[in-house]
Structure 1
Amino acid sequence: MNFLNLESGGILEYKKLTINNLEEVAALYNELMYFIQEKTKDEYWDFTELTIENTCKRLIDYIDNPEQTVFLAKDGEEVAGFIAGETINCHLPISSVKKVGYISAAFVKPEYRGKGVMKSLDMLITDFFKDCGLKYVELSFISKNQLARDSWAGIGYTTFREQARKRIGKDMEFINSFRPIIDKNSKILILGSMPGVQSLANQQYYAHPRNHFWNILFNLFDLPLSNEYTERIKLLHDKGIALWDVLESCTREGSLDSKIKHENANDFHALFKEYPNIRAVLFNGGKAYTAFKKHVGLDFNNLEFIQLPSTSPANTMNFEEKLIKWSFIKKYF
């Protein structure tokens, strides 16, 4: 075991990944992936399948593997950082080197940076590669990630080749949701996932004529349906209902939720702080609920979260069934 004295007087323990640490390291690995997304803002990444369970499945192959390994630094029970590596074939056909060590992932939590943690992890994985009979260690990082570039240069890594790309497929632009319809009297918040194509074109919530949302809402309050958007907004304010979408931006082909990728959520912590009278959050369909749970979480005091059937025409449930389900709203009035 290896130890590092911290400036605080504590110690870090360095060890190999075991089944007991798998979920902790998987969580940190996912944090690294989200860090890369945040730093690069690159649509190249698709984190749809990035879950603790799936990451654990990938990392478990590194345990007791003669050609793969993960080292971690622990501060008591907390994983402060990790480094993962494997032996790979050299892809340069004219190279005299046939195999190299490759660092596939490495991350140190912000509060442990500048304390030599990555340097110590690199020493351990370098010794692992030496024991494999290798002479070189390689790694790659995203060009926009200046922190990674500086960190690796600081422990002896130099650039010897660069990778370039160009996009040849259909350009997929990001779409953005609307500002919330909300005021200080709002008691419930209804959330969709992202406005559909027609809503974006009209710049109106639930603009598709076959979407049941407005028809349901007017029915619930025994009012005749109005096609005037100003009257629809007035109904929301009169009844204390707020509207917004979970996602601030994403890419999507068409209007189907199943086509949503590259999700970025709206800032709900700020919203709930500014509008403390919100008592319940109602999700218009499953995608809104799962996106909120994934990107925001349900850990809010004094808030009730309810998933309701989607009012979208893509949901084949008939209007009467949807109306019955949505009548849940009445408990707040």
Structure 2
Amino acid sequence: MDTAGPPPAPPAGGRGELVAHARDSIARGSKSFAMASKLFDAQTRERAWLLYAWCRKCDDIADGQDHGGALSAVDDAPARLADMRALTDAALRGEPAGDPAFDGFGLVMRECAIPARYAHDLIDGFALDAADWRPLTEDDLLRYCYHVAGAVGCMMAVLMGVDPAEEATLDRACDLGLAFQLANIARDIGEDAAAGRCYLPVAWLAEMDLTLTTLMTPVARPRLARLGNRLATMAAAYEESARHGTGALPPRAAWAVLAAAGIYGDIARKVARRGEAAWDDRVVTPKREKLGWVARAGLQVIGRARRWPAAAPRHTILWTRPR
């Protein structure tokens, strides 16, 4: 962690209460991540819940949501961002934040010695949204994905026991975060457009002669489907690259990561398969398909080092996180 000195005592509520709150948060906020988290050992599972609860809370603060759902327009984005930073910094210092999501976050950051810079990087991603930022290029898109998801992948890797100095493994963890966020963006193009947001690079839109106003019109669907497929292809490349880092993880952690990769990767794959119909209704992964990935990932764990050696094929490493 980026601070010195002995770890402060847990918040007054006690670790058990913080874990219970975090367990409820992930159960409400993400059935996919909740299922994958069950594959961890008990200690890692609780820590993953604590980290998730903070991420979910920050996202909800930024977007005026309650455990996800439809985006809400907020007219006090700078104030929300300032509160988020203040509560996060207090938690990092070991001071009670008065919110179980932040208190639990501070606890897991201290227990796992997760570098605080990743938390700051994530909040910088929310700052981009607060400033009504739009990506101009593909590189801009990927940097945004790093801030809002790749940084979380790095935090999760350290939480699972990866040394923060193991840059190659953290790169693969970052790749998984990028894959998840690219899948999210592909799935949510319609919902984002309805809220006045667009994460498709301006250069891509210009290439297809599209604007935010015309993006979701029926006549634009063939061109939009091409962009959805482009996002899905990028997500698949990052998903594959991320798998090359699983050899550095304990077996149960690798099982959870491989299951999550498959479950979330299916979102992007379904967007690509649906083509022009991808945004007629929300893409989801049914429980039976999630369980299928849990079983498949259990088999993949056995031969992961041979199937995905640490040196990932160079063509799948499309972008790396900032140093």
Scaled by the length of structure 2, what TM-score is found?
0.21
Larger of the two Rg values belongs to structure: 1
Q: Which has the higher strand share?
A: 1
Q: Which has the higher helix share?
A: 2
Scaled by the length of structure 1, what TM-score is found?
0.20
Q: Which has the higher contact order (CA 8 A, sep 6+)?
A: 2
